[in-house]
Structure 1
Amino acid sequence: MKHPYRIREIAAQAGLSPATVDRVLHSRGGVRESTVREVRQAIADLDRQQTQVRLGGRTFMLDVVVQAPARFSAAVRAALEAVLPSLRPAVIRSRFHFLDSPSVGDLVAVLDKVARAKSDGVILKAPDEPEITAAVARLPIPVVTLVTDLPGSKRVAYVGIDNRAAGATAAYLVEQWLADRAGDVLVVRGHGSFRGEDERESGFRAEMRVRAPLRRIHEVVDEEDRADAVHENTRELLAGTPSVRAVYSLYAGAGGNAAVVKAFDAVGRRYDVFVAHDLDGENTALLRERRLSAVLHHDLRQDMRRACQAVMHARGALPGRARTNPSAIQVITPHNAPPVQF
């Protein structure tokens, strides 16, 4: 058993005598196997405590850079603030840089500003554009991507769901509900180059080709970040496509899902299934009203905790290296929706 601890430390941790610990460490025999396990456990406990000692008194300044609608940015802030107590004894300070405009130039300017500031790491949600990848390369600190990845960049880890698997899950749910009924599917997405949305749509279409190759997939794109435009475009599509019976909304545009529901109501149409993403206030209300069939959700608080830990791994404050470990995809229905959401 290799370890850096004195026998007296191990004995105190294990609640055993120094003589017994000495016999275990030097394999002298005459001790029970259960006692050997107690010594091993004591060493493991001391290892963990050493990690806490290293973190004690350390302050990490993190810059959270998010290009997203205001409601998602607010959810990110709330999620991070909720997990801060669980990260003690380390102290996390944060600066938030929220952009709701699609300008890549504005986002690059923020990242370049962060590069000149004193920061321990960046948590980043950004589109997969060459300019963003180049800006990440200029950062002298660890970068963790959040909910949508930049795999070609020098980020140290990605936190969030496996978006391609999420899209495939949506296709599975749509087909379970539609079963053998005929009908087409409407996919609603945002504009831009967010890899997360691209992967969701790719996973959805791939699974639909396997499960229902004869179903047509139509698309409405929120080009202007305006719910009223989504409403009008959906109404126009429905007027010319009476066969649409299912909806998959794979983005987080404010009011977008409610706009799709109102468009169906406006033309006097019903849908059999509507699958969306993220259990925010709007989607929770639609779910409880039975206007959404299911919401694909992941715990944003867990993502933020993992993002902070990834930065601490990259800074050497936690043992091991930062790793990408996708979050679990939760299928939320009106029957298992939690009362409070972030």
Structure 2
Amino acid sequence: MGHPFPIREIARQAGLSEATVDRVLNGRGGVRESTAREVHQAVADLRRQHAQIRLGGRTFMIDIVMQAPERFSTAVRGALEAELPSLRPAVMRSRFHFRESGPVAGLVAVLDRIAERGSQGVLLKAPDVPEVTAAVGRLVAAGIPVVTLVTDLPASGRLAYVGIDNRAAGATAAYLIGQWLGDRPGNVLVTISRGFFRGEEEREMGFRATLRALRPQRALVEITDSDGLDDTLRELVLGALRRDPQIRAVYSIGGGNVATVEAFDALGRDCRVFVAHDLDHDNTRLLREGRLSAVLHHDLRQDMRHACQIVMQAHRALPGAAHAWPSPIQVITPYNTPMGFPRPDH
């Protein structure tokens, strides 16, 4: 069992003799199993304590760069700020660079300014396009670790991706809609904010493949290029509903669900199943009112804490190599909303 601690320090931590600790660490036997567990626990405790010592007084300045609707950016900011106390004794300071839409060149300019000015980490939600991939490469060349959020840039030099398995999320949405619509007729409207976000593309691919396997006769109607903004999406949904009177369900990949609900209401159309993503303010209200059937949710606070820990690992302030794993996908109805989110009164 490798460790960086002197036997004397481990023995003091475990309350055992140095000879006993030496036998356990070198596998010489003659030691009770419970005593061996005490030695291994002492090593684990020392690792945590030394990590805390390394973090004491450390300040990390990170930049959060996102192209997303304001409702989601606000949720990310709130999740990060709520998690800051859990990162102590390290101090995590943040600079926010949010925009809802705009040309890629503007986003690249923000990333290049960060590379020139310096930062200890960038948390990034951005389109998967060559210009952004190149800008990430310049950040990495400047010694700045980059962690992608929600949507990945796998061909870039980013250190890790933090978020859900988007393809699995799309498959989950297809399963729910397939079960709830059953054999009843009806097409499915799929709304995407922009096709160049890899996370949205993967959700759509997972959804399409799974629904085709479950209900091959059901048609999909896709609309995109709304940036997830209500004003833009409302007109796009109205147009789709007028062109296709058979739309009976919605899978919202890119948000803007208030506008989608309003479009159905304006034409007096019934939406039998509506599956969306993220428990932001709008979706929580729509879920409570029964306008959404379910929300595919993941814990943003956990994601932000994990992303910050990866940045600290990159600077060797925390032990171990940076490692990312998919965030669990939760299927939320009005009756199992997490603590802190409103539930219906009945």
- TM bucket by the smaller chain? over 0.9
Q: Residue 326 of structure 1: CA displacement?
A: 1.1
Count of aligned pairs between the two proteins: 339
TM-score (norm 1): 0.93
In angstroms, what is the RMSD of aligned CA positions?
2.0
Show the counterpart of 2:93: 93
Q: Residue 320 of structure 1: CA displacement?
A: 2.4
Indicate yes or no: 2:170 matched with 1:179.
Answer: no
Q: Please list the CA deviations of residues 264-305 of structure 1 after superposition, one character each: whole Å capped at 9, or x if unmatched.
A: 222222122100011011001100111100000111111111
Could you say what secondary structure the match of 2:304 adopts?
Answer: helix
Q: Pick from 238, 242, 250: which aligns with 2:253?
A: 250
Q: Which runs of 5+ in 2 are unaligned?
A: 342-346
Q: Residue 38 of structure 1: CA displacement?
A: 0.9
Counterpart amino acid of residue 131 in structure 1: E
Show the counterpart of 2:344: none
Q: Which runs of 5+ in 1 are unaligned?
A: none
> 2:263 and 2:184 mapped to 1: Cα distance?
22
> 1:48 and 1:226 mapped to 2: Cα distance?
45
Counterpart amino acid of residue 11 in structure 2: A
Given that 2:286 and 2:292 are in contact with CA atoms closer than 8 Å, whether structure 1 keeps it comes out as yes
TM-score (norm 2): 0.92
Indicate yes or no: 2:182 matched with 1:201.
Answer: no
Q: Residue 136 of structure 1: CA displacement?
A: 0.7
> 1:105 and 1:132 mapped to 2: Cα distance?
9
> 1:5 and 1:225 mapped to 2: Cα distance?
53
Q: Residue 197 of structure 1: CA displacement?
A: 0.9
Show the counterpart of 2:172: 169
Q: Please list the CA deviations of residues 1-22 of structure 1 after superposition, one character each: whole Å capped at 9, or x if unmatched.
A: 5444334422332133445445
Indicate yes or no: 2:282 matched with 1:279.
Answer: no
Show the counterpart of 1:52: 52
> 1:339 and 1:7 mapped to 2: Cα distance?
45
Q: Residue 28 of structure 1: CA displacement?
A: 6.5
Could you say what secondary structure the match of 2:157 adopts?
Answer: coil
Q: Residue 49 of structure 1: CA displacement?
A: 1.7
> 2:94 and 2:313 mapped to 1: Cα distance?
17
Q: Residue 42 of structure 1: CA displacement?
A: 0.9
Q: Please list the CA deviations of residues 297-317 of structure 1 after superposition, one character each: whole Å capped at 9, or x if unmatched.
A: 111111111111111222222
Q: Please list the CA deviations of residues 85-129 of structure 1 after superposition, one character each: whole Å capped at 9, or x if unmatched.
A: 111222211111112232211111110100011311111110011
Identity of aligned residues (%): 67
Runs of 4+ off more than 4 Å: 17-20, 22-30
Show the counterpart of 1:191: 194
> 1:98 and 1:14 mapped to 2: Cα distance?
49
Counterpart amino acid of residue 128 in structure 2: D
Could you say what secondary structure the match of 1:93 adopts?
Answer: strand
Counterpart amino acid of residue 302 in structure 1: Q
List aligned pairs for 1:19-168, cutoff 5 A.
20-22=20-22, 24-25=24-25, 31-139=31-139, 140=142, 141-168=144-171
> 1:116 and 1:32 mapped to 2: Cα distance?
58
Given that 1:102 and 1:192 are in contact with CA atoms closer than 8 Å, whether structure 2 keeps it comes out as no
Could you say what secondary structure the match of 1:190 adopts?
Answer: coil
> 2:252 and 2:100 mapped to 1: Cα distance?
19
CA separation of 1:3/1:307 partners in 2, compared to 1, >3 Å: closer, same or farther?
closer
Indicate yes or no: 2:220 matched with 1:217.
Answer: yes
Q: Residue 229 of structure 1: CA displacement?
A: 3.6
CA separation of 1:23/1:277 partners in 2, compared to 1, >3 Å: closer, same or farther?
closer
Counterpart amino acid of residue 195 in structure 1: R
Could you say what secondary structure the match of 2:238 adopts?
Answer: helix
Given that 2:195 and 2:224 are in contact with CA atoms closer than 8 Å, whether structure 1 keeps it comes out as no
Show the counterpart of 1:306: 306
Could you say what secondary structure the match of 2:50 adopts?
Answer: helix
Q: Residue 242 of structure 1: CA displacement?
A: 2.0
> 1:312 and 1:265 mapped to 2: Cα distance?
48
Q: Please list the CA deviations of residues 215-245 of structure 1 after superposition, one character each: whole Å capped at 9, or x if unmatched.
A: 1111233536542342233233223322111
CA separation of 1:218/1:317 partners in 2, compared to 1, >3 Å: closer, same or farther?
same
